[in-house]
Structure 1
Amino acid sequence: MPKALPLMIQGTHSDAGKSVLVTAFCRIFAQDGYRTAPFKSQNMALNSYITIDGKEIGRAQGVQAEAAGVIATTDMNPILIKPSRENDAQIVVHGKPYQNMNAMDYRKDFFKRGLKLIEEALDSLSHTYERIVIEGAGSPAEVNLNDRELVNMRVARIANAPVVLVGDIEKGGVFASLVGTLQLLSEEDRERVIGVIINKFRGDVKLLEPGLTWFEEYTGKPVLGVIPHLQDLNIEAEDSVILDSYKPDEDKTKDIDIAVIRYPKISNFTDVDPFFAEPDCHVRFVTKPEQLKQPDLVILPGSKNTIEDLLFLKKSGLAEKLHLLNEKGKTSIVGICGGYQMLGLSISDPDGIESPHSYETGLGFLSLRTAMTTEKTTVLSEGTLTFEQTAIHVKGYEIHMGQSVFEEECDSFIETKNGSEGCKSPDERILGTYFHGLFHNDLFRERLLNKIRKQKGLEEITGRVSFNQLREEAFDRLADHVRKHVKLDIIYDEIERFYQGGEKYDENIAIHNDSGT
């Protein structure tokens, strides 16, 4: 008999804080002695995570697995949707590209296959773990989609999971969104909701208490917690939706100014997260040339559609501004993955793998040419890079469709067991690599920042804090915060109640009902 007891976190809308709360419960259950796994049946995200066997899943599930202290597998996110252009996305099944599909074809043709994948993944996890913390997506009250949805209440029924509904008070109208969501659910699904959590609260909770009392009386559902907003949490975000609410550090007295180019199809932007934890770094995302100004470091992150994002750089004027900065010789430029490809001489995509544009000249900073291929590279990587005459062991991961070759001899950036990787200019001001996670390597990050500090006549800083240590501390801090503000005893009781008395979901009945008969 399966032994895992599930709990599902759903939200009234996207960015309600589901991912962070799942991370918190993964840590809490692990701290309480349960072998715990995260699960998200279908994740739409451009921020990827590479499993130990070289497969691709949503980054949030990888981080949640780390919070639980377990190795991430594709069972934790069997379906990953990576938007590549308008109304079109790459469908990744158990970590490998399946095919590109538009939204309507995916909804019409993939439903039964997706349902089977989800059931199999949940069954596999349930025989390996003792707790499964399941994350929904968007809202369970999207009535136009619910007949064939694969990520909210249908998953709760498959797993027979109690559901906690999360509302974000920061966006306003939290009681209306919670009540409206509950009223739009079927009676069966409404009964599955064991209570609600109000997230990201700021202020005196006593001012909220009349509303909490009203809500419980009106809906019959308990408020399981009001969680205050938690500042400066060093845990990676789910996807680039978070950038829409990003507020740059306004402390312009910091020594090092870092500009990150935010193109339309930016991916794996969390590569730059370690710089936010550095006390001397001012980090900002830019979309216009006038925002770029005179930074010490420019980072070109990954992209899901490299040619179209390259065209964005050219049309916006950012490409011209980058060349002007390079000519002045005071700004370092680092390209990661798609950003690395853009730094080269050209990018070709004759088969339309990512874009309808078959060819585009690059920025010309490095002597490489990239061709998009149908074979996707997904691998954990490590090697030794040489920077500032120092050999540094680094670890990272690669996710890319293209293969790059050098037209002229170029100084290798990283030496791996499979050969040379990446490229750098002779003065090491321009660096390019396929290694995501490069800046998470503490010694390299320290040397890079100290090179900039020396150029500016500033004293070097050594012994910078380990970013991985900060993340572990953040997991514990988040778990402690949630423990303090939710009724964990009720949640534990409800998990046990559902496990003891629930009905098993019948796939054949579900498919029959979804056919409209």
Structure 2
Amino acid sequence: MSVKEGTLAPTLMFQGTASDVGKSVLTAALCRILTQDGLRVAPFKSQNMSLNSYVTPDGKEIGRAQGMQADACGIAATTDMNPILLKPKQDMVSQVVVHGKPLRDYDFRSYREKYAAEAEHVVRAALHRLRERYDIVCIEGAGSPAEINLKDRDIVNMRLAGWADAPVVLVADIDRGGVFASLVGTMEILTPEERERVKGFVINKFRGDVTLLQPGLDWLEQKTGKPVLGVIPYMRDLGLEDEDSASLDAKLGRGRREPARPDQLDIVVLRLPRLSNFTDFDPLFAEPDVAVRYVTSPDEWGTPDAVIVPGSKNTVEDLLFLRQSELETRVLEWAASGGYVLGICAGYQMLGRRLLDPELVESDKPELEGMNLLPVETVFATEKRTERIAGFSSLFEHGEQAITGYEIHMGRTRFLEPVSHPFRIRIHDVRNLREPYHPDGVVTANGRILGTYIHGILHNDGLRRSWLNAIRAAKGWAPVPEAAPFQHLREAAFDRLAAHVREHLDMARIYAMIGLERS
């Protein structure tokens, strides 16, 4: 199946009655299903607000969800798939990233008044290019289309659906309650033209006996004149990354703070207020001998086996949070006792001696003392580094291990005395194959305190298992010989998700909406 050359590809759009109803995952599922059916598929989200970002092969930054959806399609992600990314820095202020590069910081009102018109041109051009290149574009909306105070300059929901001539599937999360009220209420607020564009509903995250729900489904269809296209049962332990901290908060609320079993390593991640790129830790959840806990206060500290200081969109403010909450004291006591500490990106910067911000890029503080666990200092620059990298690790005695990952940071870190570097890396880009390797990070002499700029470092199966086995050895435990094959598990998760959604979604009607025939 393919679209005739010279015509624009059809589109299909998932909108939701609220944030975190499952639009991102359902879009990924449909991307995989249509790819399995032989179509060339691309995802699209015009504007994303997330601190969980993804670096494209050409070193640009987009929302993590669209990177994941591109992976589900089996294609390389581009900034056309998410041309505008908003990265919250403070309350009401976000860094605006356009086609993968920072434009400037805007507060919400200024963004709407000064940039919204330009944003519309950026979005429409990106979508047009995708529709020229692919057989179908699966579009994800943002939040709810019923935000009447935002509709006049909307570039993410119904106005976008009009530009794309997209049939809309409205998604509601039954797990949070009020599913019929949210669907009917949303439809009531839409204009007649917008209601006409909605072609059906999907009820997501259902738990229980669907026959007990049937009277409600019948009422909904009679009330609105729109079909229910599917009731998607809740999938436990899907194994795919979350888009943003709202999803993470929901995950934590469903029991992810459970203590480690006696045969598991207890890994603590500091839950920073501006936590970013928390997908760094997803591979740890796949390891049977590991339990991961997110900690927000000293009362939750417990007796960890290792502590991770993660990435942050505002290093200075989150370091002050750790200081004021006394979590920094716990980290320092833990490190002094010989405990394992891993700092990634902003966490690496916090472990150093000083944070310098002469141009006030990060905050209103030109200088701040760090935790002084590593002999480095960081100067914040106006230019952001976003690159995919590849290289080698020399952390462990059994020789160098190949690694990959990515960098996203404003700071430049310098070494204040001779140090041991755990990694040698260079840009992972065919245009830079001759670039020399350069050192990254610092590791202490005992190997227990480690800082690095490499996001995704724990996605390297061999290195992850070597690090975990070093922690096991410190406890007197035998090593685990094999790592969980994370990328294989992730691909299997895409297929499992696609099979699950295909079973419960009316694909015949979906194809009819798209205007394509199934082969």
- TM-score band, normalised by shorter chain: over 0.9
* Structure 2 residue ranges without an equivalent (≥5): 1-5, 426-435
- Asked if structure 2 preserves the Cα contact closer than 8 Å seen for 1:294 and 1:325, the reply is no
> Which of residues 40, 47, 52 in structure 2 aligns to 1:42?
47
Residues 277-336 of structure 1: per-residue CA shift (max 9 Å, x gap) = 11111111001012112211111111000000000010000000111111221x210001
* CA–CA separation in structure 2 for the residues paired with 1:265 and 1:357: 17
Residues 180-207 of structure 1: per-residue CA shift (max 9 Å, x gap) = 0011001101100010000000011111
Return the letter of the residue paired with 1:383: G
Question: 1:323 maps to what in 2?
Answer: 332
Residues 233-287 of structure 1: per-residue CA shift (max 9 Å, x gap) = 1111011111222121535314200000011110001100000011111111001
- Describe the SS at the equivalent of 2:330: helix
Asked if residue 377 in structure 1 is aligned to residue 402 in structure 2, the reply is no
Question: 2:201 maps to what in 1?
Answer: 196
> Which of residues 361, 368, 375 in structure 2 aligns to 1:360?
368
> Which of residues 72, 79, 102 in structure 2 aligns to 1:67?
72
1:168 deviates by 0.2
Are the structure 2 counterparts of residues 27 and 317 from structure 1 closer, same or farther at C-alpha, using a change threshold of 3 Å? same
Return the letter of the residue paired with 1:375: E
* CA–CA separation in structure 2 for the residues paired with 1:216 and 1:251: 45
1:479 deviates by 0.2
- Asked if structure 1 preserves the Cα contact closer than 8 Å seen for 2:259 and 2:266, the reply is no
Return the letter of the residue paired with 2:214: E
Question: 2:432 maps to what in 1?
Answer: none
* CA–CA separation in structure 2 for the residues paired with 1:161 and 1:4: 11
1:454 deviates by 1.1
Residues 351-388 of structure 1: per-residue CA shift (max 9 Å, x gap) = 22121222110011100000100011000001111122
Q: How does 1:24-43 map to 2 (within 5 A)?
A: 24-43=29-48
1:494 deviates by 1.2
Asked if residue 88 in structure 1 is aligned to residue 93 in structure 2, the reply is yes
1:48 deviates by 0.8
Question: 2:342 maps to what in 1?
Answer: 334
Q: Percent identity?
A: 52
* CA–CA separation in structure 2 for the residues paired with 1:74 and 1:2: 22
Question: 2:151 maps to what in 1?
Answer: 146
Question: 1:504 maps to what in 2?
Answer: none
- Asked if structure 2 preserves the Cα contact closer than 8 Å seen for 1:2 and 1:123, the reply is no
Return the letter of the residue paired with 1:415: R
- Asked if structure 1 preserves the Cα contact closer than 8 Å seen for 2:405 and 2:455, the reply is yes
> Which of residues 396, 410, 413 in structure 1 aligns to 2:422?
413
Residues 460-513 of structure 1: per-residue CA shift (max 9 Å, x gap) = 111222100000000000000000001010011011189xxxxxxxxxxxxxxx
* CA–CA separation in structure 1 for the residues paired with 2:151 and 2:19: 16
Asked if residue 184 in structure 1 is aligned to residue 189 in structure 2, the reply is yes
- Asked if structure 2 preserves the Cα contact closer than 8 Å seen for 1:48 and 1:58, the reply is yes
* CA–CA separation in structure 1 for the residues paired with 2:498 and 2:58: 29
Further displaced range: 195-204 or 414-423: 414-423
Question: 1:252 maps to what in 2?
Answer: 260
* CA–CA separation in structure 2 for the residues paired with 1:99 and 1:249: 37
Question: 1:395 maps to what in 2?
Answer: 404
User: How many residues in Structure 1 have an aligned counterpart in Structure 2?
Assistant: 497
Question: 1:505 maps to what in 2?
Answer: none
* CA–CA separation in structure 2 for the residues paired with 1:430 and 1:293: 19
- Asked if structure 2 preserves the Cα contact closer than 8 Å seen for 1:319 and 1:363, the reply is yes
Asked if residue 280 in structure 1 is aligned to residue 289 in structure 2, the reply is yes
Question: 1:462 maps to what in 2?
Answer: 481
User: How much is the aligned-residue C-alpha RMSD, in angstroms?
Assistant: 1.1
Question: 2:445 maps to what in 1?
Answer: 426
* CA–CA separation in structure 1 for the residues paired with 2:486 and 2:364: 39
- Asked if structure 2 preserves the Cα contact closer than 8 Å seen for 1:140 and 1:153, the reply is yes
- Describe the SS at the equivalent of 2:349: helix
Question: 1:492 maps to what in 2?
Answer: 511
Question: 1:509 maps to what in 2?
Answer: none
Structure 1 outlier segments of 4+, above 2 Å? 249-252
Asked if residue 472 in structure 1 is aligned to residue 481 in structure 2, the reply is no
1:350 deviates by 2.0
- Asked if structure 2 preserves the Cα contact closer than 8 Å seen for 1:85 and 1:355, the reply is no
1:2 deviates by 3.0
* Structure 1 residue ranges without an equivalent (≥5): 499-517
Q: TM-score, normalised by structure 1?
A: 0.95
Question: 1:512 maps to what in 2?
Answer: none
* CA–CA separation in structure 2 for the residues paired with 1:348 and 1:266: 20
Asked if residue 165 in structure 1 is aligned to residue 170 in structure 2, the reply is yes
Are the structure 2 counterparts of residues 481 and 497 from structure 1 closer, same or farther at C-alpha, using a change threshold of 3 Å? closer
- Describe the SS at the equivalent of 1:92: strand
- Asked if structure 1 preserves the Cα contact closer than 8 Å seen for 2:31 and 2:41, the reply is yes
Return the letter of the residue paired with 1:332: Y
Question: 2:428 maps to what in 1?
Answer: none
- Describe the SS at the equivalent of 1:311: helix
Further displaced range: 165-174 or 251-260: 251-260
Return the letter of the residue paired with 1:204: D
* CA–CA separation in structure 1 for the residues paired with 2:113 and 2:11: 29
Further displaced range: 281-290 or 250-259: 250-259
Question: 2:429 maps to what in 1?
Answer: none
- Asked if structure 1 preserves the Cα contact closer than 8 Å seen for 2:171 and 2:203, the reply is yes
- Asked if structure 1 preserves the Cα contact closer than 8 Å seen for 2:391 and 2:437, the reply is no
Return the letter of the residue paired with 1:228: P
* CA–CA separation in structure 2 for the residues paired with 1:127 and 1:180: 36
Q: TM-score, normalised by structure 2?
A: 0.94
* CA–CA separation in structure 2 for the residues paired with 1:228 and 1:36: 25
- Asked if structure 2 preserves the Cα contact closer than 8 Å seen for 1:261 and 1:301, the reply is yes
Question: 2:7 maps to what in 1?
Answer: 2
> Which of residues 306, 310, 318 in structure 1 aligns to 2:319?
310
Residues 101-151 of structure 1: per-residue CA shift (max 9 Å, x gap) = 110000111111011001100110011100101000000000011011110
* CA–CA separation in structure 1 for the residues paired with 2:128 and 2:473: 56
